[in-house]
Homo-oligomer: A and B are copies of this chain.
Amino acid sequence: MPAAPADDALRSYSFLGPSGTFTEVALGQVEEARGQIWKPVSNVGEALGDVLEGRSTAAVIAIENSVDGGVSVAQDALATMPGLRIVGEVLVPVNFVLVARPGTRLEDVSVVNAHPVAYGQCHLWLDAKLPSHGHIPASSNVAAAASLLDGTSTADAAVAPPGIVNHYDLDVLAENIGDNPNAVTRFVVVSRSREIPARTGADKTSLIVELPNDESGSLLGMLEQFSTRGVNLSLIESRPIGDALGRYRFVIDALGHIEDERMADALLGLRRFSPNVIFLGSYPSADRTAVDYHSRYNDEVFIEARDWLRGLLSAEPLDD
Residues of chain A touching chain B, judged by Cβ–Cβ distance below 8 Å, are: 1, 42-43, 45-46, 64-70, 72-73, 76, 82-83, 91, 115-116, 120, 123, 127, 132, 134-139, 152-154, 179-180, 182-184, 186, 194-196, 212, 215-217, 219-221, 223-228, 231-240, 242-246, 248, 258-259, 264, 267-269, 271-273, 279, 296-297, 301-302, 304-306, 308-309, 312-313, 315-318, 320
With the chains together, A115 CA to B246 CA distance in Å?
Answer: 23
Cross-chain contact A315 with B68 (CB below 8 angstroms): no
* A114 CB to nearest chain B CB (Å): 10
With the chains together, A123 CA to B236 CA distance in Å?
Answer: 24
Whether A137 touches B137, Cβ cut-off 8 Å, given contacts A194-B317, A313-B196, is yes
Cross-chain contact B134 with A43 (CB below 8 angstroms): yes
Task: Determine the chain B residues whose CB is within 8 A of the CB of A244 once the complex forms.
Answer: 66, 182
Task: Determine the chain B residues whose CB is within 8 A of the CB of A234 once the complex forms.
Answer: 245-246
Task: Determine the chain B residues whose CB is within 8 A of the CB of A91 once the complex forms.
Answer: 245
Task: Determine the chain B residues whose CB is within 8 A of the CB of A69 once the complex forms.
Answer: 72, 238-240
Cross-chain contact A271 with B308 (CB below 8 angstroms): yes
Beyond A67-B242, A183-B242, A221-B228, list 10 extra A-B contacts (CB 8 Å): A64-B245, A66-B244, A134-B139, A137-B138, A194-B316, A216-B233, A224-B228, A238-B238, A267-B309, A271-B305
With the chains together, A216 CA to B231 CA distance in Å?
Answer: 8
Task: Determine the chain B residues whose CB is within 8 A of the CB of A42 once the complex forms.
Answer: 134-135
With the chains together, A302 CA to B267 CA distance in Å?
Answer: 11
With the chains together, A120 CA to B272 CA distance in Å?
Answer: 31
Task: Determine the chain B residues whose CB is within 8 A of the CB of A66 once the complex forms.
Answer: 240, 242-245
Cross-chain contact A272 with B194 (CB below 8 angstroms): no
Cross-chain contact B216 with A232 (CB below 8 angstroms): yes
With the chains together, A290 CA to B305 CA distance in Å?
Answer: 28
Cross-chain contact A236 with B238 (CB below 8 angstroms): yes
